[in-house]
A and B are shown apart, each in its own frame.
Chain A
Amino acid sequence: MTDPIHFTQAKKSFESEISRLLNPKNEKEKAASNAFFAYIKRLINQFDLYTATPDDIISEAYIRAVNFIKTREVEIKSPEAFMKTISVNVIREMNRKQIKFSSLEPNELELKVKLDDFSTNLVYEDCYNSNSNSIKVAIQKLNPIDRKIIFLWKVEELSWKEVVKELSSSGENLNVVSARKRGQRALERLRKELN
């Protein structure tokens, strides 16, 4: 049975270290944080995980780390090294799902998205032409707001606060929670369409 006091202390200690990576307070911490994100990005590139961004990986790794602390009742001596280790496994699993998800060889499929007009100007390259149109069709099936949300979130990689700000400047008033839920549902629909 988990000792709640020990778990709380171990989790607090872990979070105190990780908070420096996610919320750096000075230039030194910022440099370390950027190096950590660059490490994740490097791994993403090595595994050709074109559907993921570092925050996808880090959020999943963080949740697993906390669950690990809870179940094993251990204090993590080097939280950053621990997160780096978990991140490799997260990326490998996502890569396997990506391979299953796409009928094409992932190492040979490259999707390039034109940034200025996500809805009508999708540019892509791949070595197996027969299935590539499905990406464009799937995106065009989304309603315009959902397309814009996905573009701002996944392509421009804005935070949800910035996504909401961009949407409101074009007359769409959503709060952060609604925009996030809508974006996640749209991404699910897109993935289902492609599958």
Chain B
Amino acid sequence: MENIIAQSDFLILVEEYQALGILNKLSDSEAERLIEILELAQSNSLLNYLIQEVDVYLANKLNLLNSDCLYHYENQRAKLREYLESKLEDKLFNQTQLFN
């Protein structure tokens, strides 16, 4: 069941998420609040979508999508695939279809 959030609260939550995302540092209470918003997003598809949009906006604003970063992300994806495949070799996971 979708988590019902009042329409007026959507904007507040999204603004709050954006404000948290732009901070240089996160305190414990700010991190807790971030988690609360993300937990709401897990069960509300509209909020989830809006947060994804904010993440793209923040990534551009903080220069985290420049060509250097994209190059590193590509490498990290490759590293992750290797690492998780090695987990399969270790028989830690079974019946995974992750990279088919």
Chain A interface (Cβ within 8 Å of chain B)?
Answer: 8, 11-12, 15-16, 18-19, 22-24, 31-39, 41-43, 45-48, 53-55, 58-59, 62-63, 66, 76-78, 80-82, 84-85, 88-89, 92, 107, 157-162, 176-177, 180
Contacts and interface: CB of A to CB of B under 8 A. Distances in A.
Interface residues of B, number: 47
Nearest to B36: A85
Interface string B57-69: 0110010110001
A22 B84 contact: yes
23 contacts: A8-B95, A12-B96, A15-B97, A22-B99, A34-B59, A34-B73, A35-B55, A36-B55, A37-B69, A38-B58, A38-B73, A39-B59, A55-B76, A58-B76, A59-B80, A59-B84, A76-B42, A80-B48, A85-B38, A88-B38, A157-B79, A160-B79, A176-B82
B10 interface: no
A82 B41 CA distance: 9
A145 to B, nearest CB: 19
Contact of B42 (A59, A85, A157, A161): A85
Contacts of B6: none
Q: Chain A at the B interface: mostly helix, strand, loop or mixed? A: helix
A159 B28 CA distance: 33
A89 B77 CA distance: 21
B70 interface: yes
B54 to A, nearest CB: 10
B51 interface: yes
A77 B84 contact: no
Contacts of B72: 53, 157
B24 to A, nearest CB: 7
A48 B25 contact: yes
Contacts of A66: 93
Given A23-B77, A47-B26, A176-B82, 20 more contacts: A11-B96, A22-B84, A31-B56, A35-B65, A37-B77, A38-B69, A41-B64, A42-B59, A54-B73, A55-B80, A58-B76, A77-B43, A78-B42, A78-B43, A78-B45, A80-B52, A85-B35, A88-B38, A177-B86, A180-B82
Interface string B16-32: 00000101111010010
A180 B45 contact: no
